[in-house]
Amino acid sequence: MSYDANHAPSAHHDEHEQHGTETTMFGFWVYLMTDCIIFGTLFAVFATLCHQFAGGPTGKELFDLKNVEIETAILLLSSITYGFALINAHAKKKGAVLVWLLLTFILGVSFVCLEISEFSELVAHGAGPDKSAFLSSFFALVGTHGLHVTIGLIWMVVLFFQVLGRQGLGSRMMTKLTCLSLFWHFLDIVWICVFSFVYLGSVV
Amino acid sequence: MLGKLTLSAIPYDVPILVGTFIGVAVIGIAVLAAVTYFKKWGYLWREWLTTVDHKKLAVMYIILGLVMLVRGFADAVMMRTQLALAYAGNPGYLPPHHYDQVFSAHGTIMIFFMAMVIMQALFNFVVPLQIGARDVAFPLINSISFYMTLVSAILINISLFIGEFSNVGWLGYPPVSELQFNPGVGVDYYIWSVQISGIGTLLTGMNFLTTIVKLRAPGMKWMQIPVFTWTTFFSCIMILTTFPVLTVSMALLALDRYLGMHFFTNDGGGSVMLYLNLIWSWGHPEVYILILPAFGVFSEIAATFSGKPLFGYASMVFATGVITILGSIVWVHHFFTMGAGADVNTFFGIMTMFIAVPTGVKIFNWLFTMYKGRVRFEGPMNWIVGFMITFSIGGMTGVMMAMPAADWVIHNSLFLVAHFHNVIIGGVFFGYVAGISYWFPKAFGFKLRDVWGKWAFRFWFVGFYLSFIPLYAVGLEGMTRRMNHYDNPNWHPWLLVACVGVFVLAAGVCCQVIQFVFGAIDAVTKKPDALDLTGDNWGSGRTLEWSIPSPVPHYNFARLPVIRGLDTFHIEKELGRPAPVGELEPIHMPKYSAVGPILGVFALVIGFALVWHIWWAVIVALLGAFVTVVHRSANLDVDFYVPVEEIRADEEAFAQRLAAAKAAE
């Protein structure tokens, strides 16, 4: 958590918390932008290698858009449900927060499961990441996104139990929920780019 | 059980390594025994290892950086002596495979574990004090940053004794760093060390950017920020924009090596030049990440020792910003020979030459700061004069190589090696040493003996020219870098001179060690004229850090300073210090935490286990790190208030020292 000694305890207590939150949010935004550069670099790598099939299968032959469309719908929906969780957190409705978090978690897990089944199907059909540079860059980019979603889900579980526990919906908890919200929506934006450039771009 | 790790991984058949190991072991055991004998483990743990105080972290960074300097310098001595000997049939004493490891170790350690480490030490010590803050924005993350840096340095040095050091240069170019040509563990050690230290650096960048944006003392406007803090700000921006690229390049190389992927391999459609573009689009900004803070140090020192405000403050800030932008769009000049075509090479060549403009602005600003000033040539000031001469020469050879046509001739020759040592030693290193000697009294409350600092400078200055001007010459005569032996009789005399040079540099290192030893003796014996009573040790400090006691109390500022313009402390000295306003209040501070060292241990285990494919250990350590973070996240008891009595006692003691110093005048 961020710390800010520039406010003396005599300053109004809420104001003090507010200022600390603002610093934390700024720091988290900065972190997210570095994550954005990680994805940007992976997209650049994919753009460079996406035609290096090395005699292996092409994206057009491999990708099943139906599956990807379901994944996309699930992830976008999970952003909405997380939004409802945050609205209820601001309204201090603890029970509703927990329900919406649980829904978001279920959607997130189903996204990851679909992705894992897609990956294992590709590997089973001999189109694993070691087949060609195209497949290496595909697995690295989409896999990094999936890894981020998984970490987001673990984070969500931790916050779920902290909301349930003694931290409740205090100002420190609100900061954490807002950070995860930024992270979750950010992953959505990245996924839209993955969907457009990787899947649609390969099939067209 | 232990993956690929077997007893045969220990190189007991290489006498140099066995000797080094015995030396390290003896020193290590001596230090541990001393700590045990004096019963200092508790003190060390409570006051230092678990600290989140940016000043103590800075001291630990400095110690790590100086140890790594000696370590990397030993490699330099080995290379120069090898090349002085290995001529006309004489193979020298380092076989090619070992020589490859030595130059890889020299580059890797000097950049990642010496320069980056000392740079972070300066960030940590100076920035919060200059902007009137009581700590950084995220003190615990700051401690984690330090431990990531520390364990990555440990991990890369373990490779010396268990396994092998990477033998593919400091940037690990494929395809030679791929599994096909390099099945050993050296490259893996390199990858994971760089990854772990990269996490630390990235967190430092995030932390200090947030600190500078959010925690400035009330009233400090952007154009009132001291220049060192400005250079830190831009350096952090480059860290944040480029270190993620390094992370990705290392991760992809690891995927190639661990999972048989084809990013940079010769077969399967991989592209070697993709790696070069990725690594240099981090690597070139990296040298500006290192040099900008050095420019900041010179700006502070030039003003302090000339008794004048810095000439052209605003142009200095804008020049730093322009270098930040230009420095990020020149990376292709590292491989003009790639064959990208004339248009691409022309763009990158011209951009590279443009960087000389803002840098020239800075050089003239420092010169005009000294012009008609009362210049005092104390230790730190020596380094800046040496820097301006040396760095200008290095800059000019840089512009020479920025011409693609010329670069095709001298690409990868010793001319290049001479050029980048010219700017890194003459710029980065001189700057950091000047910074250490400039802020040392502020950190410890006593001064170092200036005479040894001056001798260190003289040896470094002369030694630099003796070591590297010959390399320009042999480079132009066609000697490529990383050669283990040679037959050309024209090169031999030059390389003998360079070998003499490295021993002159060694004399400089000795003087620096002696300076610290005498400093410690003076501190222990409380030599009266070594003590810094006023906090304004140089007598002409201009920025906020000189307005508070030395050593600095753990909360930095008893009252938050009121900013009255650029160089507030100087204005106050001119106009008289205003009486403190308002009552002292308890100060809100973060508690020390063991999370940093615990995460450090887990990171070390993860790195080592990944190198040797000990998968269960990776999983256990990852789980351990996860539990540590969650436990911390549930901990609400993370801060405390410094009582008013303690602050008042400190303030009164400082007032007495100031009065005594005034009376002594």
Residue A84 in any domain: the answer is yes
Interface pTM, i.e. ipTM: 0.94
User: A8 and chain B: CB distance < 8 Å anywhere?
Assistant: yes
Give me chain B's average pLDDT, please. Answer: 94
Contacts of A37 in chain B (CB under 8 A): 240-241, 244-245
Q: pLDDT-based confidence at A103, cuts 50/70/90?
A: very high
Among candidates B183, B141, B144, B181, which has minimal Cα distance to B164? B183
Cα end-to-end span (Å), chain A: 46
Cα B391 from Cα B364, distance rounded (Å): 13
Q: How far is B51 from chain A (nearest CA, A)?
A: 15
Q: What is the DSSP letter of B87?
A: B
User: A27 and chain B: CB distance < 8 Å anywhere?
Assistant: yes
Which one of B206, B233, B236, B249 would you mutate to disrupt binding with A, by most A Cβ within 10 Å of its Cβ? B206
Q: What percentage of chain B exceeds 90 in pLDDT?
A: 84
Q: How far is CA B382 from the centre of its chain?
A: 20
Q: pLDDT-based confidence at A16, cuts 50/70/90?
A: very low
Question: Which of A26, A54, A162 shows the shortest C-beta gap to B210?
Answer: A26
Which amino acid, A115?
Answer: E
pLDDT in tens, B523-574: 888 888 888 888 898 989 999 999 999 899 999 999 888 888 888 899 888 8
Which one of A12, A45, A153, A163 would you mutate to disrupt binding with B, by most B Cβ within 10 Å of its Cβ? A45
Contacts of B133 in chain A (CB under 8 A): 5-6
Three-state secondary structure call for residue B565: coil
Three-state secondary structure call for residue B521: helix
- Cβ atoms of B60 and B47 closer than 8 Å: no
At A17 the pLDDT is 41
Cα A59 from Cα A70, distance rounded (Å): 18
Instruction: Indicate whether A12 pLDDT > 50.
Output: no
Residue A147 in any domain: the answer is yes
pLDDT in tens, B204-238: 999 999 999 999 998 899 999 999 999 999 999 99
Residues in contact with A167: Cβ distance below 8 Å, sequence separation at least 6, in sequence order? A173, B634, B636
Q: Do B268 and A10 touch (CB under 8 A)?
A: no
Contacts of A52 in chain B (CB under 8 A): 262, 268-271
Peptide bond into B551 cis (omega under 30): yes
Contacts of B248 in chain A (CB under 8 A): 38, 41-42, 45
Nearest chain B residue (CA) to A140: B252
Q: Do A53 and B269 touch (CB under 8 A)?
A: yes
Q: Which whole number is the average pLDDT over B198-205?
A: 96
Q: Does the annotation mark B267 as catalytic?
A: no
Q: Do B244 and A140 touch (CB under 8 A)?
A: no
Q: How far is A37 from chain B (nearest CA, A)?
A: 6
Q: Which helix (H) or strand (E) holds B588?
A: strand B587-590
Q: Does the annotation mark B522 as catalytic?
A: no
Instruction: Dig out the tokens for B398 from the structure.
Output: 């840089």
Q: B-contacting residues of A 108-167, CB under 8 Å? A: 129-134, 136-137, 139-140, 154, 158, 162, 165-167
Q: Which helix (H) or strand (E) holds B641?
A: strand B639-642
Contacts of B271 in chain A (CB under 8 A): 48-49, 52, 133
Q: B60, B68, B78, B79: which one is catalytic?
A: B79
pLDDT in tens, B594-645: 999 999 999 999 999 999 999 999 999 999 999 999 999 988 888 899 999 9
Q: Which whole number is the average pLDDT over B258-275?
A: 95
Q: Do A49 and B241 touch (CB under 8 A)?
A: no
Peptide bond into B175 cis (omega under 30): yes
Q: How far is CA B645 from the centre of its chain?
A: 39
Instruction: Indicate whether B73 pLDDT > 80.
Output: yes
Instruction: Indicate whether A83 pLDDT > 70.
Output: yes
Q: Which whole number is the average pLDDT over B126-150?
A: 96
pLDDT in tens, B450-508: 999 999 999 999 999 999 999 999 999 999 999 999 999 999 999 999 999 999 999 99
Q: Which whole number is the average pLDDT over B650-659?
A: 90
Question: Which of A1, A23, A140 shows the shortest C-beta gap to B210?
Answer: A23
Question: Which of A33, A52, A158 shows the shortest C-beta gap to B269?
Answer: A52
Q: Do B214 and A5 touch (CB under 8 A)?
A: no
Residue A3 in any domain: the answer is no
At B532 the pLDDT is 87
Q: Which helix (H) or strand (E) holds A165?
A: none
Residue A135 in any domain: the answer is yes
Q: B50, B152, B157, B204: which one is catalytic?
A: B204
Which amino acid, A10?
Answer: S
Cα B212 from Cα A140, distance rounded (Å): 35
User: A48 and chain B: CB distance < 8 Å anywhere?
Assistant: yes
Q: Do B210 and A27 touch (CB under 8 A)?
A: yes
Rg, Å, chain A Cα set? 20
At B491 the pLDDT is 96
Residue A45 in any domain: the answer is yes
Q: B51, B53, B75, B167: which one is catalytic?
A: B75
Q: B421, B447, B449, B542: which one is catalytic?
A: B421
Instruction: Indicate whether B660 pLDDT > 90.
Output: no
Q: pLDDT-based confidence at A9, cuts 50/70/90?
A: very low
At B574 the pLDDT is 85
At B497 the pLDDT is 97
Instruction: Dig out the tokens for B147 from the structure.
Output: 């431990």
Residue A19 in any domain: the answer is no
Q: What is the DSSP letter of B216?
A: P
Q: Which whole number is the average pLDDT over B273-280?
A: 96
Question: Which of A5, A38, A49 shows the shortest C-beta gap to B269?
Answer: A49
Half-sphere exposure of A192 (CA within 13 A, CB side): 8
Q: Does the annotation mark B284 as catalytic?
A: yes
pLDDT in tens, B153-162: 999 999 988 9
Tally the domains of chain A: 1
Cα B482 from Cα B440, distance rounded (Å): 37
At B471 the pLDDT is 97
How many A×B Cβ pairs under 8 Å?
A: 147
Q: Does the annotation mark B299 as catalytic?
A: yes
pLDDT in tens, B76-133: 999 999 999 999 889 999 999 999 999 999 999 999 999 999 999 999 999 999 999 9
Cα B298 from Cα B523, distance rounded (Å): 27
Residue A53 in any domain: the answer is yes
Residues in contact with B510: Cβ distance below 8 Å, sequence separation at least 6, in sequence order? none
Question: Which of B135, B241, B274 shows the shortest C-beta gap to A37?
Answer: B241
User: A7 and chain B: CB distance < 8 Å anywhere?
Assistant: yes
Given the structure tokens 């921006």, which residue do they identify? Answer: B237
Residues in contact with A54: Cβ distance below 8 Å, sequence separation at least 6, in sequence order? A131, A132, A133, A134, B262, B267, B268, B269
Q: Do B210 and A48 touch (CB under 8 A)?
A: no
Contacts of B138 in chain A (CB under 8 A): 1-3, 27
Lowest-pLDDT choice from A177-191, B14-28, B407-421: B14-28
Three-state secondary structure call for residue B642: strand
Cα B650 from Cα B540, distance rounded (Å): 23
At B665 the pLDDT is 75
Cα A120 from Cα A124, distance rounded (Å): 6
pLDDT in tens, A40-79: 999 999 999 999 999 999 999 999 899 999 999 999 999 9
Instruction: Dig out the tokens for B259 from the structure.
Output: 């999972």
Q: Does the annotation mark B135 as catalytic?
A: yes
Q: What angle do CA B422, B426, B430 make, to 5 degrees?
A: 155
Domain residues for the domain of A167 are 30-203
pLDDT in tens, A137-172: 999 999 999 999 999 999 999 999 999 988 889 888
CB neighbour burial string for B162-186, b if at least 16 within 10 angstroms, e if fewer: ebbbbbbbbbbbbbebbeeebebbb
Q: How far is A18 from chain B (nearest CA, A)?
A: 13
Q: Does the annotation mark B93 as catalytic?
A: no
Q: What is the DSSP letter of B399?
A: H
Q: pLDDT-based confidence at A18, cuts 50/70/90?
A: very low
- Cβ atoms of B177 and B249 closer than 8 Å: no
Cα B201 from Cα B149, distance rounded (Å): 8
Cα B198 from Cα B201, distance rounded (Å): 5
At A13 the pLDDT is 38
Q: What is the pTM of this model?
A: 0.95
Rg, Å, chain B Cα set? 25
CATH number at residue A145: 1.20.120.80
Which one of B131, B257, B633, B638 would you mutate to disrupt binding with A, by most A Cβ within 10 Å of its Cβ? B633
Instruction: Indicate whether B384 pLDDT > 70.
Output: yes
Instruction: Indicate whether A1 pLDDT > 70.
Output: no
Among candidates B225, B264, B319, B251, which has minimal Cα distance to B567? B225
Q: How far is A4 from chain B (nearest CA, A)?
A: 7
Q: Which whole number is the average pLDDT over A103-132?
A: 95
Q: Do B260 and A130 touch (CB under 8 A)?
A: yes
Contacts of A27 in chain B (CB under 8 A): 137-138, 206-207, 210
Instruction: Indicate whether B170 pLDDT > 80.
Output: yes
Cα B491 from Cα A148, distance rounded (Å): 54
Residue A21 in any domain: the answer is no
Contacts of A162 in chain B (CB under 8 A): 633-634
Q: Do A6 and B217 touch (CB under 8 A)?
A: yes
Give me the helix-helix angle, B342-354 and B356-370, nearest 10°: 10
